Amino acid sequence: AAGVIQSPRHLIKEKRETATLKCYPIPRHDTVYWYQQGPGQDPQFLISFYEKMQSDKGSIPDRFSAQQFSDYHSELNMSSLELGDSALYFCASSLGLIDNEQFFGPGTRLTVL
């Protein structure tokens, strides 16, 4: 069965650079969530989209932005990168918005030097 695809899987950037993370949800899934997981920490909700519209916002810095495109894939844009942005970034998709199973992608490991 098709799963959530994330690219790239690994990314190394310098401070103050920009990064773009991509997420391709499971076919027919209309909802995408982005989570950030620091080392030894729990995943923290960043932002979500339903039917190409932003549906909720969590602890996402103003330096980050995201959108969901017409084909339902989503991109997380990160600017002015800081050392503290180094983390695993997971995208999850679900069918529908409320109380439905979220399927996680393999994650993108971002390292900021």
Partner 1 sequence: GENVEQHPSTLSVQEGDSAVIKCTYSDSASNYFPWYKQELGKRPQLIIDIRSNVGEKKDQRIAVTLNKTAKHFSLHITETQPEDSAVYFCAATGGSQGNLIFGKGTKLSVKP
Smaller CB separation from partner 1, 18 or 111: 111
CB of 39 to partner 1, least distance (A): 10
24 interacts with partner 1 by CB under 8 A: no
The residue assigned the tokens 């909720």 is 56
CA–CA separation, 14 vs 44, rounded Å? 23
User: Is the alpha carbon torsion for 26, 32, 79, 10 positive or negative?
Assistant: negative
CB of 88 to partner 1, least distance (A): 8
Smaller CB separation from partner 1, 14 or 101: 101
Q: CA angle 68-70-72, nearest 5°?
A: 55
Task: Summarize as ranges the residues that interact with partner 1 (CB under 8 A).
Answer: 31, 33, 35, 41-45, 48, 50, 55-56, 58, 88, 90, 94, 97-107, 109
